[in-house]
Amino acid sequence: MYPDDDACLHKIFQLRFTGLVCPKCESTKEFTRVKNRRSYQCPCCSYQIYPTKDTVFEKCRVPLIHWFYAIFLQTTTRNGVSAKELERMLSICYTTALRMNHQIKKLIANTKAKKGSLGKIAGTVQIDEVYLGQSLVTMSHKQRAKIKADDLTKFDNKTGVMGFVSDKGEVRFEVMTDNKTFKERVKNNVAKESIIVTDSHAGYEGLSLHYKQHEVVNHSIREFKKGKYHTNNIESAWALLRRTIYGTHISVSPQYLQLYVDEVAFRLMQKDKQDTMFEIILSHVV
């Protein structure tokens, strides 16, 4: 379907400019491709538009066919593709591969939509948290020396991620790099009329006052199901997240961790749509 850069550019043009009317002369005639440039022009007044403008492909010399292939690779694996693998497969430098990887993750997470109003998850919502990063026990002396004593916590300098999984198939992760409490994060992401299910962490105490129902599954006493309520879905999400971070990418900076967890959330929500996942990701260009 996309054998060369022209085919890739035409796909982006179709996604972004369906039923285009020339802004200059108001002609409804179909725009024509400009040779040797990533642009189309009006056949009447020669007004030009650039399909890649304001997209992840803008101002990048990497061929569009490389971008499309990199996106395709992301849809053929369960745990994502590392920048080193893109470097090897596309014969590009690591810096370019890493930038492409991050830009594609922004596309997967539909960052443009997130800048708008992000609705809250509703229904029966399972909530939990996980801490990612290298343990101080496995660090070398040089690595430990770089960490200030004031920065050390009982979580061994790890970065926390809070996860939300609803019975409607919605998945959301939030990297905990600020000083918000657990309650504040839950209120920001879950609708009031929801039933929330958590473990017995003290940070979730008092949420029953704000929500329709709060069920607590106490793992410390080996309770893994309370009636019909459990946290198995969010635990499964953590398993995929760990395989993605530790198995594929090995190490991820807290600065970019939100991109990676958003990608995992997308995979979980689209797990039954692998045949159309490529087109879904491309549709986020709009």
Residues 237 and 157 in one domain: yes
Closest CA to 125 of 206, 214, 224, 204: 214
- Whether 128 is covered by a domain: the verdict is yes
Range of the domain at 12: 1-53
pLDDT digits (tens, 9 = 90+) for 222-280: 898 999 999 999 999 999 999 999 999 988 988 999 999 999 999 999 988 888 999 99
Overall number of domains in the chain: 2
> 79 CB contacts (<8 Å, ≥6 apart)?
240, 243, 244, 247, 248
Give the residue from 14, 35, 53 where a domain finishes. 53
Give the residue from 10, 30, 53 where a domain finishes. 53
Q: How far is CA 97 from CA 62, 177, 221, 225, 278, in A?
A: 10, 26, 47, 44, 19
- Whether 133 is covered by a domain: the verdict is yes
Query: Is 0.85 topped by the overall pTM?
Result: yes
- Whether 94 is covered by a domain: the verdict is no
User: How far is it, in rounded angstroms, from Cα 174 to Cα 161?
Assistant: 6
Residues 237 and 128 in one domain: yes
Residues 129 and 265 in one domain: yes
- Whether 106 is covered by a domain: the verdict is no
Residues 47 and 144 in one domain: no
Q: How far is CA 132 from CA 14, 170, 250, in A?
A: 40, 22, 11
Closest CA to 169 of 105, 238, 259, 265: 265
pLDDT digits (tens, 9 = 90+) for 163-216: 999 999 999 999 998 889 999 999 999 999 999 999 999 999 999 999 999 999
Q: How far is CA 154 from the centre of its chain?
A: 28
Residues 265 and 145 in one domain: yes
